[in-house]
Chains A and B, each alone.
Chain A
Amino acid sequence: MNEPSNPIPETAPTPPLQSPAPPLPNVQIKAAMLLVLMLVLVGGSVIYLMYARGAFESTQKLVLVADDSEGVVVGMDLTFSGFPIGRVSRIALSPTGNVHMTVDVAQADAHWLRSSSIFTLERGLVGNTRLRAYSGILTDPLLQGGATRNLLVGDASAEIPHLVAAAKELIQNLKTLTAADSSLDASLSNVKILTEKLSGRNGALGALLGDEKNAQKLILALDQANSLLAKVDNLAAKADTQVFGPGGLMKDTQATIVQLNGLLLEARASLKKVDAVLVEAQAVGANARAGTADLGALRADIETSLRKVDHLVNEINRKWPFRHDAELKLP
């Protein structure tokens, strides 16, 4: 093995050196241009990637707290109405066991976040987990930098176990319902028997009454009812003749009504007379009222006279010699 630092075997013949290929024109300038192009491309790419990752935009911090950070990765977008307004820059476990996700929200888009904004973490069955912000009232005060908000988690896949359990229960119920000895099966058998009876000789009657003998009885009863109806019809025709026919009850009734009209007219005349008597009675009442007014004055006079008599009696009693002393003497 040759020595690595001296790779050229000395055993080779030593012919004169071949003339090198003719140099390219302006080779050093072209080489410099290519190197500069490479440096510009690499440097430009680095600067573009830094710009694309948001290294040059001013941001404010927002801390989102969740129970579980599954599906969330650093660099993930926080979207508002479908537009990315921030990036997850750090995910850390807090001492209380919650997950703190630090989101860098671009200052230019920070005005979409208000103090009343809510933040959700949505995990779909297919595709990425999504962080979304909703601001219902855009007139609320702006969200301060470094604010901490709880994350509402909506997990479609978490519903699957519940869904499966419910479906299982439903299938079990269906199984019970459709089993050979189930109530539904018994009901269907009864329906079958019923339909057989319905399509039988006695039809629905046979199905309702259960027995052919009963159905026959009912049919017989119906026939009798029919004949009864025919008799009733005959009877009604006769009654019509009796009531409305010539010399029937209706004519007598009409004559009675005419007589009643005459009676009523007489009664009206009598009532008019009673009215006149009442007018007179009213006049008597008025006179009696006037008389009572005079009676008041008369009463006053009598009272005055009585007082005078009373006074006179008192005077006589006082002046009378046999007046006894009314004073009581105690022993």
Chain B
Amino acid sequence: MNPKSSFSDKSLDASTGFLKRTHERARRWLARAWRTLHFAALILSLAFSPATYSRDNRAAIATQIVGGMWPNLLWFTVLCALISLVLIRIVVVTALSYGLSKYALEMVVRVLVLELIPLTAAAFVALRCTLPDGVELAEMRARGDLTAFRREGIDPVRREALPRVMAGVFSVLTLVAVSCITSLVLAYLSIYGFTPWGIAGYNRVVGQVFSPAVSMILLLKTVFFSLAVSLIPMASSLYDEANMSMQSRSKAARELASMVRLFSVILLIEVASLMGNYY
């Protein structure tokens, strides 16, 4: 056997194997992306369907919303207020030391309200609420609860997935709104103190920062964050294939993979919003 031809055969095999693996990975990635998009469309269509809001489903949705938001609202608001206070103080003192105190408020509003708080709220809801919900759903699916629902004539997506997605969406929106308002109030108090005479100037600066384009980008970013945070963990838990190697993975590895996927999407949305705001 010619050693030269044997070497070339081996390298051909290696490159074929690499191409096959790449193809397989790409196929899986595309399939997962498609499934997630399909799930998003399914959930949105269910959310706008009146049949979803039957008595039992309403109770399930209410339970998920209260269970997801109620414990997080106070804690997140307090935590966010503390972090905001520290950041506001740092920005104001730094701006003052450079003699740029008139730009401090604008910077605080841009850094905190436009960038940090939506991102933090989305990450907080993902870690505290939707990722555990996804794991719970995956466990229900593994136990066969969802199949049992189907057998009893109950749509498991409508009964179990949709309430968790809605809870995630509303949690993100509410936490963002509460934290942004808290930060704006804290920024005013930190810069002007307990006096009403700075309100006119403060309103003007806030009005200048929130131009229609910036407001629209903030709104879209928050909505996309909430959708990503709520849909991706649920989609991952519902659509992981039985014959995939994921099945052999541990529970922790599966959660981690879902989390990485989720944060990649959040990062993409953040980058897009930054480009929209500053380019």
Contacts and interface: CB of A to CB of B under 8 A. Distances in A.
B66 A8 contact: no
A323 B150 CA distance: 192
Given A4-B39, A45-B181, A49-B215, A38 B173 contact: yes
Contact of B66 (A2, A27, A53, A54): A27
B148 A24 contact: no
B190 interface: no
Nearest to B100: A127
A5 interface: yes
A24 B63 contact: yes
A17 interface: yes
B206 A52 contact: yes
Interface stretch (A28-36, A141-149, A311-319): A28-36
Contacts, number: 122
B149 interface: yes
| 10 smallest beta-carbon distances between A and B, as pairs | A52-B207, A31-B62, A41-B177, A12-B144, A53-B207, A4-B38, A7-B238, A38-B174, A52-B203, A8-B146
Contacts of B178: 41
B143 interface: yes
Given A12-B141, A34-B69, A38-B173, A53 B149 contact: no
Contacts of A31: 61-63, 65-66
9 contacts: A5-B38, A7-B239, A8-B147, A9-B147, A15-B148, A30-B62, A35-B170, A51-B207, A52-B203
A45 B58 contact: no
Contacts of A37: 174
B65 A35 contact: yes
A16 to B, nearest CB: 7
Interface in A49-66: 49, 51-54
B157 interface: yes
Interface of A: 1-2, 4-5, 7-18, 21, 23-24, 27-28, 30-32, 34-35, 37-38, 41-42, 44-45, 49, 51-54, 74-77, 84, 127
Contacts of B206: 49, 52
Contacts of B238: 7-8
Contact of B157 (A7, A13, A51, A77): A7
A77 B204 contact: yes
B144 A28 contact: no
Contact of A15 (B39, B144, B215): B144
B35 interface: yes
Contacts of B203: 51-52
A34 B174 contact: yes
Contacts of B147: 8-10, 12, 14
A14 B144 contact: yes
B180 interface: yes
Contacts of B141: 8-9, 12
B204 A52 contact: yes
Interface in B133-166: 141-152, 156-157
A23 B63 contact: yes
A34 B170 contact: yes
Contacts of A84: 201, 204
Contacts of A127: 100
A1 B239 CA distance: 9
B210 A53 contact: yes
B207 A54 contact: yes
Given A12-B141, A42-B173, A53-B207, 5 more contacts: A10-B147, A15-B148, A32-B62, A52-B203, A84-B201
Contacts of B70: 30, 34
B208 interface: yes
Contacts of B143: 12-13, 15, 18
Contacts of B127: none
Contacts of B149: 17
A35 B65 CA distance: 9
Contact of B42 (A5, A23, A42, A74): A5
Contact of A38 (B38, B67, B170): B170
Given A5-B42, A52-B210, A12 B204 contact: no
A49 B152 CA distance: 50
Residue of B61, B63, B170, B173 ringed by the most chain A CB atoms within 10 A: B63
Interface in B61-103: 61-63, 65-67, 69-70, 73, 100
B35 A4 contact: yes
Among A17, A18, A74, residue most surrounded by chain B Cβ atoms (within 10 Å): A17
Nearest to B244: A1
B44 interface: no
B31 interface: yes
B69 A2 contact: no
Contacts of A49: 206-207, 210, 215
B59 interface: yes
A8 B161 CA distance: 12
Nearest to B177: A41
